[in-house]
Chains A and B, each alone.
Chain A
């Protein structure tokens, strides 16, 4: 190795070091610390009872109704919202792709849900569905308290998530749509494909990698859902998500041992999801343009 390349390697590492160290210190280190804490009985309200108990916390979590309920709630919210977002995102993207006048207006409007604070969005929808302050019941001629029942509470939560994040999906998909050359669609038309066949046999396959990346990001994001649930139901009506369970154990009840076990399990779930996407659906993130 020449001196010049050695110097270049050093400079490269030097420039990356602050960012890498920060990322390791604030994620990897606490994660390991959580792993350590999860092996202890450790409740901040009773610090004296701290004691190494091995995997007992995990057994406690995995043996509890709350965990499995929260897991299934989270999976349900994730699957439902991501599925709706994908379809709606495609519709929005196609509208933006085809609208000649007003494309800018649509794009700007869609950025508003993306930019708005999640807590504010959740509040706005909560008030909108609220039977005393809201306009939705009046509009639909209904009287129920949406957030007081499990099914309708899920509906409100999922619809808030969809509203907030469909923009992201739509903008990614729009960018993907513009990558499909116009000539290919014209060629397909001449080859005898109708609009539906053009979409499914040309547009969709060409957008595969964009769709997969968008789904991966959105799935992992939805799986971590916290803000909306916290603001709208705070987990009541049996709508707790995994993040709510973790928060309650760690911050509300100050049970660091048990809470850390929940944390580690959530981390493993996310890891598994990412692995499924990357291996299972063959998203090759490294295949993207080498910087």
Chain B
């Protein structure tokens, strides 16, 4: 059982600061996700927690005790690597027993723990095989097994599923979630995949270029993103963005204008530089549902993707008279050209839309987020 506390932690490499003064606390038993684009410093942060990298500045505490000058072996944390890092010259059994034999545990205890872990992970029949005779998913399980036999205070997982194919990834994802709930061990999980982050995490921390942008539950990040980057990073398909401007007490968008609640108007009016409005694909609908406040606009379906339970409609919006839309590059979102921006709506498959059809879409004004383009700050968030 462990609570991990990071206070002002930085990591500097020659020429680059990989992690910039990060503060947060991971609660006991929590499934905590570090997410961000590649190079954001999430793996470095994980390596500092486990002790594979030194901390340049700040401190790390586990249950109030400072650990940042301890060797990894004295931190009682277990780690699962992206490459699995299974010892190829040892059998599955030897791999799982390795940390225990290093800790000079008795033979019976090692045997007991290995067979217990093998049972949990359904590895019994593979115990005497060498790793090269295992499939990707089985290797992944061996790596998990080696972590759980130690009964560590903390599990650290560094993109553990990224080497698996899509189907196996979903399966292992649920397995990891189940295992974590069963064991109740504090878990820190690094990923660049926002779907994994959303489905697994009790809380998610979004990192970008070494900075902690926001920490919150998946729901908080989805509904109340603190910044343009978080808004664009969390959610699939990504949030729709349009350039916006404040004019005559209303927010004007290329698809029409909306009124904002009283208390937010001043904040938007005081904003500096160009504005960007964002709304999620699932907040667009084909009916007003009797809500007369909804913004109504007509589009032509460009591409239609039917996924059974969902229907995604892609359409273009003309940007005439608006500023060019400048989105952060590391979001890797598809940005339209100067004249038009491509958006997507997730609507009821029963609507039966076909490519080339014209359709009316409705957007509830209270679903719209407004960001300062330059700072990326979410203006509607009562911070």
Please report A residues at the B interface, Cβ cutoff 8 Å: 181, 183-184, 186-194, 197, 201-202, 205-206, 208
Name B83-103 residues within 8 Å CB distance of A.
83, 85, 87-89, 98-99, 102-103
Whole-angstrom distance from the CB of A64 to the nearest CB of chain B? 47
Q: Are A190 and B102 in contact (CB under 8 A)?
A: no
Whole-angstrom distance from the CB of B104 to the nearest CB of chain A? 10
A191 CA to B71 CA, complexed, in Å: 11
Q: Are A193 and B73 in contact (CB under 8 A)?
A: yes
Residues of A within 8 A of B73 (CB): 189-194
A184 CA to B82 CA, complexed, in Å: 11
By secondary structure, the B interface counts as loop
A181 CA to B103 CA, complexed, in Å: 23
Q: Are B85 and A206 in contact (CB under 8 A)?
A: no
Contact of A202 among B71, B87, B103, B150 (CB under 8 A): B87
Q: A191-B98, A191-B102, A193-B73 are in contact. Are A186 and B89 (CB under 8 A)?
A: no
- A187: nearest residue on chain B (CB-CB)? B85
| Interface size of B as a range | 20 to 34
Name B76-128 residues within 8 Å CB distance of A.
77-79, 81-83, 85, 87-89, 98-99, 102-103
Counting CB contacts under 8 A, is B52 at the interface? yes
Counting CB contacts under 8 A, is B268 at the interface? no
Residues of B within 8 A of A183 (CB): 81-83, 85
Q: Are A181 and B78 in contact (CB under 8 A)?
A: no
Residues of B within 8 A of A190 (CB): 50-52, 72-73, 77-79
A207 CA to B85 CA, complexed, in Å: 16
Chain B 49-64 near chain A by CB (<8 Å), digits 1 or 0: 0111000000000000
A187 CA to B88 CA, complexed, in Å: 13
5 interchain pairs (CB within 8 A)? A181-B83, A186-B79, A187-B79, A189-B52, A193-B98
Q: Are B52 and A191 in contact (CB under 8 A)?
A: no
A-B pairs with the 3 shortest C-beta distances? A187-B85, A192-B73, A191-B99
Counting CB contacts under 8 A, is B146 at the interface? yes
Residues of A within 8 A of B81 (CB): 183, 186-187
A186 CA to B81 CA, complexed, in Å: 9
A205 CA to B72 CA, complexed, in Å: 23
Residues of B within 8 A of A188 (CB): 87, 98
